[in-house]
Chain A
Amino acid sequence: MRSVPSRSSLLMAPALVWLTALMVVPCALVLALAFFRRGIYGGIDYTFTLENFGLVFDPLYAGIFLKSARIAGTATLIAAVIGYAAAYAISAAPRRWQPVFLFFAVLPFWSNYLIRTYAWIVLLNREGLITQLLRWLGYTGEPPSMLYTEGAVIAGLVYNYLPFVILACYAPLSRLNPELAEASRDLGASAATTFRRVILPLTVPGIAAGAVFVFVLSIGNFVTPALLGGGRFQMIGNLVYDQFLTANDWPFGAALAMALIAIMLLVLMAQALAADRASGPAMQAGGGADG
């Protein structure tokens, strides 16, 4: 009879071969592409160069990276605050209702991303629902231009990823031992102090995990800036898209994609490190960090 490891390898083999052939190899290929030149007619000239990575730091493109980070960061912050509040409210609801509320909070996450984004075009366009609402309230001026702005992109990102944050924050909140909050109150702490020094430190890892995921998904987003930001609005994802489908500069597009992956890995690693460090003292004292 076969040993467990060899049987396990046999079972894993087909999937691992698939992932290697259709994810690892193509991504390695993109990494390699980034070190070549663009050919004169848009093809690839196989001479080694570091120019593409240099170009990433060109003010024009570095600016788009910064703008993407700013938009993703703002969306993440807003989603984290609203998501935490919602998760807190759900975890305070009667126990048998909690799964129901959670289900309804997460359900929109699973409907089509394009459609959820399109819904915001319907709301925000010049003759859209918000303008109608303003008119109905007696507003007579020019319709406000809300669509095709940075604000619209941020709203779209928050809307699309909020359910995910709620889910990530709910898990630690629902596991929280209510006796801890009680003990804090019995010892004379106000509700605000209890929240700040007991509840928040114990549930921060959940917020961090959710926030990192939203940031990563937002910074590399293509659809939301393309639809809600308008034709010329660019984040990194749109820039990569353009290099491959319109500018036809694959090596530079590849370098941009690799820079995106590098940012993503940095953020994930920072979160993992912070989580490792925080799991020690924060769990015991629930204070100290905010003194």
Chain B
Amino acid sequence: MAERPPATRRTLWLVLSLVLAFLYIPIAVLVALSFNEGGLPTAWSGFSLKWYASLANNSAILSAALNTLIVALVSTAIATLLGTLLAIGVEMRRQYGKGLEALIFAPMIIPDIVLAIALLSFFSMLNLTMGLHTIILAHVVFNLAFVCSVVRARLKTFDWSIVEASADLGACALTTFRRVTLPVIAPAVIAGALLAFTLSVDEFIIAFFTAGAGRASTTLPMQIYAMIRFGITPEINALATIVMAVSITALTLSQRLNRGMIGQ
């Protein structure tokens, strides 16, 4: 690649810098404003953590954060278990139908708004009282699909003959899973779980439709949406910075695990 003419190389660097600037400037502005004493985007009036302090005293945001944490943890746990089993089950077969493939792929591509109204119709037809539990039921749907796809990618290069070897040597299915399959897929399972956690923390529309009436089961994205509709407040900037820091940390971790896995 080094033998490109210098003019071409300069153009390529320029393109890359412009695109990265386009991607990062809007986010950087939010982060910078969250530390702005005056809170206004019009003028910098000094560094301050006061918007973070005011977040810590906002009980609506704190309870929304707690709800989000509950939903994300429970739905991630269920989705990780179900998604991993599904991945193993699918990859064990040498062949499978297009229908199965479509069913597993569907939750990743179906428009959020469609799944949201479908679940709302379904839950209200069953006369189910909606709340955090219905959000969890809903989040597991797409979370398990993402966990499954991450684990399947890892299993594509898995040598199934070592499972047979383990069985031939007298290990029961559970022992084989625990001592042969699990150690191989563990990094992918954890990466998938972190991805699911992030998706659940960030998900808005489905939660909005399946949360039921009242404020008791408001999640953080629902709270953020309400605040944005209300107008720009410096508190959102601080909240946005924290939420981004959490998701980006989880994703960086997940990425590292996946890369470590490829390195093996």
Binding site for B on A (CB under 8 A): 1, 4-5, 7-12, 14-16, 18-19, 22-27, 29-30, 33, 82, 85-86, 88-90, 92-95, 99, 101, 103-105, 107-108, 110-116, 118-123, 125, 127-129, 132, 159, 162-163, 166, 178, 191, 213, 216-217, 220-223, 227, 237, 240-241, 244, 250, 253-254, 257, 260-261, 264, 268
Contact = CB atoms under 8 A, between A and B. Distances in A.
Interface string B76-120: 000001110110111011000000000110110111111101111
Given A29-B118, A115-B240, A108 B41 contact: no
B209 interface: yes
A82 B21 CA distance: 13
B53 interface: no
B92 A26 contact: no
Interface of B: 1-2, 4, 8-9, 12-13, 15-16, 19-20, 22-24, 26-27, 29-30, 33, 41-42, 81-83, 85-86, 88-90, 92-93, 103-104, 106-107, 109-115, 117-122, 125, 137-138, 140-141, 144-145, 148, 167, 173, 198, 201-202, 204-205, 209, 221, 224-225, 228-229, 232, 236-237, 240, 243-244, 247-248, 251-252, 255, 259
A89 B27 contact: no
B256 to A, nearest CB: 10
B193 to A, nearest CB: 15
Given A9-B89, A10-B89, A86-B16, A15 B23 contact: no
Contact of A110 (B82, B141, B232, B251): B251
Contacts of B137: 22
Given A18-B82, A105-B23, A12 B117 contact: no
A223 B224 CA distance: 12
A1 B103 CA distance: 29
B77 to A, nearest CB: 13
A268 to B, nearest CB: 8
7 contacts: A7-B92, A8-B93, A16-B86, A29-B121, A110-B251, A118-B240, A220-B112
B9 to A, nearest CB: 8
Contacts of B89: 7-12
B103 A16 contact: yes
Residue from the set A104, A116, A213, A260 with the largest chain B CB neighbour count within 10 Å: A116
Contacts of A110: 198, 247-248, 251
Given A30-B121, A260-B114, A223 B204 contact: yes
B113 A220 contact: yes
Q: Give the dominant DSSP class at A's interface.
A: helix
Contacts of A112: 201-202, 221, 224, 240, 243-244, 247
A123 B30 CA distance: 9
Contacts of B209: 244
B90 A12 contact: yes
Contacts of A127: 41-42
A82 B228 CA distance: 29
B247 A121 contact: no
Contact of A27 (B118, B224, B251, B255): B118
Contacts of B138: 22
B114 A240 contact: yes
A1 to B, nearest CB: 7
A128 B228 contact: no
B204 A18 contact: no
A284 B165 CA distance: 42
A118 B236 contact: yes
A92 B4 contact: yes
Nearest to A120: B26
Given A30-B121, A111-B27, A250-B117, 5 more contacts: A5-B93, A10-B89, A12-B85, A111-B244, A123-B26
A10 B1 CA distance: 51
